[in-house]
Amino acid sequence: MESRDQSNLQLKKASSCYSSIIEKKQTFSPSVIVIGGGFGGIAAARALHDASFQVVLLESRDRLGGRVCTDYSFGFPVDMGASWLHGVCEENPLAPLIGKLGLPLYRTSGDNSVLYDHDLESYALYDIDGKKVPQELVTKIGDVFESILKETDKVRQELSEDISILEAITIVLERRPDLRAEGLSHKVLQWYICRMEGWFASDADTISLKYWDQEELLSGGHGLMVRGYCPVINTLAKGLDIRLGHRVTKIMQRHNGVKVTVEDGRTFVADAAVVAVPLGVLKAKRITFEPRLPEWKETAIADLGVGTENKIALHFDKVFWPNVEFLGVVASSSYGCSYFLNLHKATGHPVLVYMPAGRLALDMEKMSDEAAANVAYMQLKTILPDACEPIQYLVSHWGTDINSLGSYSFDTGKQLAKSIPELCMVPSQLA
């Protein structure tokens, strides 16, 4: 999963929500409870603490980071949540900090390319029968996919109501027979759609045509955190009053502040509270607000979508795969396609990360970790018959994890233009 430019921009917007409070000259030190220990919550707590507020951060997990989760059980860091920095530039608030800490970034191919990448060094695609897809065909269908997406803009301009990007692609292919693909070409096209679904962590039939391309990418391209995001989290959290294992169940506004109740019945009081929990938790109404949130804010929460992308990290005792960033498996539907991130190319460790998204990710969460890891391995064995069995594996469950209930948000089209600016909460979409 990749950290989002949208998150960085929203983080700046969210900080403005507190600026009027911070700038007030007061003779006392006001108190604030920050709820949620992901990037958004820690950044808010850090800013408030440094502005001389009394801050307590309540986190439901037994660790910090939220959907940033650096696992060390392989003997080296593997990010099972956010792992990319999108926009390696000064405008990205994380980039200067990462540089200051001296943390290396592996610059992935394609610069600002997200949905298609014509750098032939970046991936190798295989058919389900194990035959490698010719690079010329991969490039050709990449151009076709780019043309299809451009044509969907015409469909968008013609319609008064929103539809899904998949419906728009279907309309384009009906109008433009020259863009249709059959046989192996069709499978490669489905793989490109699969990659698109991975970016949004949701299936193409749920992604808004009207808003899918409204995200503004920062400059500087993409970088993979070679040593994981954990050092960044630890640096931001240094010196803060953090209470782990504190799952908030209720936030009550009082005449002189707020009272926050955690799962075991304990309460905390402060002048104000900052809610920085994942959107999935808000959508599931895991926290009771008293009085309830304004209707417009509840609508904003309900209308934004939350997708799921998981990681299944397979640790091998040797490298047996080509030296590319991604290994891909093409199929007749995007659901049947898959891709593996090659961590060996970035970190030197013999690890491949299988990354299912959308319905496939949720279906695999119903399996045991062993079964899910075996599905990933068998995909690999199909295209690389000499593949050896993994010696270790890790499996994420972001969709069913009670602390996240999803990976990151995506645009459903339901009043989205109003939802984002009105929902002035600390963002925590990571990938």
Q: Number of helices and strands (H, E) in the chain?
A: 13, 21
- Annotated ligand binding at 248? The verdict is yes
Tokens matching residue 264: 């075991």
Residue 38: DSSP 8-state: B
Alpha carbon distance 19, 202 (integer Å): 34
Alpha helices in 87-226 (DSSP H): 94-100, 135-158, 165-175, 183-200
Which two three-digit tokens encode residue 256? 């002189």
The alpha carbon of residue 277 and the mean position of all alpha carbons in its chain are separated, in whole angstroms, by: 14
**Contact (Cβ atoms closer than 8 angstroms) between residue 86 and residue 217:** yes
Q: What is the Cα–Cα distance from 3 to 412, expressed in whole angstroms?
A: 19
User: Which residues have C-beta within 8 Å of that of residue 147, sequence separation ≥ 6?
Assistant: 179
d(CA 246, CA 278): 15
CB 218 within 8 A of CB 86: yes
Residues 6+ apart with CB under 8 A from 353: 78, 311, 312, 313, 314, 340, 341, 343
Q: Is 354 annotated as a binding residue?
A: yes
Annotated binding residues, written as ranges, equal 248, 354
Annotated binding residues for FAD, written as ranges, equal 248
Annotated binding residues for substrate, written as ranges, equal 354
